[in-house]
Amino acid sequence: MRILPRNRWLRRGFYVLLLILLSAGSLFGYGYFMYCQSRAYEDRMLAELKQVDPDWTLEQIVANFPEVPDVKNGSKKIESIFYNFSVTSEDLGHYAVASSSALPYRVKIEEFKLESEKEIEEELIQLRKLVNSPQRKTPILWGYNIRSYGKGFQSSDGTFLSLEPSRLIWDARRQTLLNAPDLSIEDLRAFLIGPQFLSTEGLSTNLFVTRVWELRSVVALEEVLSCSLPSSEVVAKLQIEMERILEQNPLVDCLRFERAEKFKQMQQKSEECGQVGQWPGNLSKQELRKYLMQLRYPIYAPADRASMLEEMTKLIEQVKSNSPQVRASLTEMEKQMEKIRTRHGMFDVDFFPDIPASKWLSHDWMPPHCAMLRHDLNWKANLRCAITALAAERYRQSKNRWPENWEELVPEYLQEVPEDPWSDKPLRMRKTEEGLTIYSVGANGVDDGGLPEVLKTKLDIGFRLFNPEKRKSLTEEKPQKP
């Protein structure tokens, strides 16, 4: 019985068709095998993640977010204060924003004169009362409304950034010139509390703004202590407040939220790639590669999501335990980013031809999280330097000299020797002709001496304290523009 046709052209057509069917079957089989492997990887990671963090999904995070009645909502307290007064940050000038000159420096009190001085005094009294609020860390919906996730992230009423209590920074500098340094310290305490009310736990945008405010309080504190002598009692209160803030670890909540959000976005992207339309016509070589990647991606999407979950969970556990491995992870991510920049000259594009399909979307979480980790280490270094400087200032007031080593501060003035987050060693302490400098080696990991010019260029991160006679000898000068 003859199976093949007698006509040789028909036979050739049959062979071609058979070859096509075999190739298609092989491709389908390979794709199915890779999808099964990819799905198995994701299932394994989801099972492990459920053991480590049962409520890790975006829906569970949102569901667990507590409702806060207005009477206990810290943001409402600040709103009621700010909306009842007409003075704005713009009315206060640049002294509400940043230090205008190299320290030590003392400007004229006339620079702080306001037409609405009585009103600002009443507002400041209300803001200072925040330090006595019983509800300190109020989780509120602010900046982004995460409960409207199904509709997409929505901006709030636009008041998030406008409610910055910078008038407290302005008044801290003013009270220093009025020889009321204790009131300056109280202003800084209230300034530290304000952002705590305005932060929604888990949102990186809000954490970034909160920490910027906290770092601004450190800058203002260094300026206040450079030209005044506040009492040991108020200095101790501010130190306790800063230690409380440092003990918190909100970056963990932020990374958990980022992980859950990224997972949801990757699922949506995979569904979109599975619905790629017809051939789009003339394409560049780069666009053609991207189009083919979109066709292939659904097979590898589970592995891509699993890879993201594995890497981010590892990072979250490191941050949660304050492990030194965080620096190693940061270094490794920065090396990978540098390789991509070297090959492509940029990072902010949506497709790299040499990124495998199993890493197509998971690779782009590195840039924002590198920035988050670097900012977190700098924040810890700055805050620890400020806390240690406050302890050293209290020691000087008690002993009439600067401490010689950490043993003189621990445990009476500090709970423990402060660790430098950028190294495996304690913070550095260096005596100078003008006083004492507490500093971290910074991101380069090299002790550059903590000198003023080095601190200015941020090779090291530090806090300078000046001798009492240096502070008292300052005369008022014409202010320099920042």
**Alpha carbons 438 and 233: distance in angstroms, whole number:** 21
Helix boundaries (H) for 198-324: 204-226, 232-247, 250-273, 285-320
**Alpha carbons 229 and 465: distance in angstroms, whole number:** 11
pLDDT for residue 242: 94
| Other Cβ atoms closer than 10 A to 266 | 20
Half-sphere exposure of 16 (CA within 13 A, CB side): 6
288-290-296-299 Cα dihedral, nearest 10 degrees: 180
Question: Which helix H or strand E contains 436, and what residues bound it?
Answer: strand 435-440
Mapped onto helix, strand or coil, the DSSP state of residue 56 is coil
Sheet of 428-431: strand order equals: 428-431, 435-440, 461-466
DSSP class of 429:
E
What residue segments make up the domains of the chain, in order of their start? 70-250+398-472
**Alpha carbons 304 and 482: distance in angstroms, whole number:** 48
Instruction: Judge if pTM exceeds 0.85.
Output: no
Tokens of 461: 């991160």
Cα distances (angstroms) measured from residue 52 to each of 42, 211, 252, 263, 324: 15, 28, 14, 17, 21
pLDDT for residue 163: 47
Cα distances (angstroms) measured from residue 212 to each of 122, 191, 209, 215: 26, 12, 5, 5
pLDDT for residue 478: 47
pLDDT for residue 448: 82
Mapped onto helix, strand or coil, the DSSP state of residue 231 is coil
Cβ proximity of 323 and 419 under 8 Å: no
Tokens of 360: 């197509």
**CA 126, 128, 133, 136 torsion-angle sign:** positive
DSSP class of 129:
G
**Alpha carbons 111 and 476: distance in angstroms, whole number:** 11
Burial 112-121 (b: 16+ CB within 10 A, else e): beeeeeeebe
For tokens 């941020």, name the residue. Answer: 458
Q: Which is nearest to 308 in space by CA: 275, 269, 271, 335? A: 269
Tokens of 80: 């009621």
pLDDT digits (tens, 9 = 90+) for 278-306: 566 666 666 767 777 777 888 899 999 99
Tokens of 272: 């979109």
**Alpha carbons 261 and 305: distance in angstroms, whole number:** 12
Mapped onto helix, strand or coil, the DSSP state of residue 144 is strand
pLDDT for residue 214: 87
Cβ proximity of 479 and 108 under 8 Å: yes
**Which residue type sits at 423?**
S
**Alpha carbons 132 and 128: distance in angstroms, whole number:** 8
- 445 Rama sector, left if φ>0, alpha if ψ -120 to 50, beta otherwise: left
Tokens of 424: 């495996």
**Alpha carbons 324 and 423: distance in angstroms, whole number:** 8
Q: Which residues contact 455 (CB under 8 A, 6 or more apart)?
A: 437, 439, 461, 462, 464
**Which residue type sits at 201?**
E
Q: How confident is the prediction along the chain (482 residues), in pLDDT tens digits per residue?
A: 466 667 777 777 877 887 888 887 877 788 788 889 999 999 999 999 999 999 999 888 877 776 666 666 666 677 777 677 666 656 666 555 555 456 776 777 777 777 667 777 888 888 887 776 654 444 433 333 333 433 333 333 333 434 456 788 888 988 998 899 999 999 999 888 776 665 555 667 777 777 888 888 999 999 999 989 999 999 999 999 999 889 887 888 888 988 998 999 899 888 887 665 556 666 666 676 777 777 788 889 999 999 999 999 999 999 988 878 888 888 888 887 777 776 655 544 455 556 777 788 887 777 778 888 888 999 999 999 999 999 999 999 999 999 999 999 999 999 999 999 999 899 999 999 999 999 999 888 888 877 665 666 666 789 999 999 988 766 555 444 43
Q: Please state at what angle helix 181-197 crosses helix 232-247, rounded to 10 degrees.
A: 20
**Alpha carbons 388 and 439: distance in angstroms, whole number:** 10
Mapped onto helix, strand or coil, the DSSP state of residue 419 is strand
pLDDT digits (tens, 9 = 90+) for 16-50: 887 888 887 877 788 788 889 999 999 999 999 99
Cβ proximity of 110 and 194 under 8 Å: no
Q: Which residues contact 392 (CB under 8 A, 6 or more apart)?
A: 402, 403, 409, 413, 429, 436, 438, 465
Mapped onto helix, strand or coil, the DSSP state of residue 339 is helix
pLDDT for residue 126: 82
pLDDT for residue 142: 35
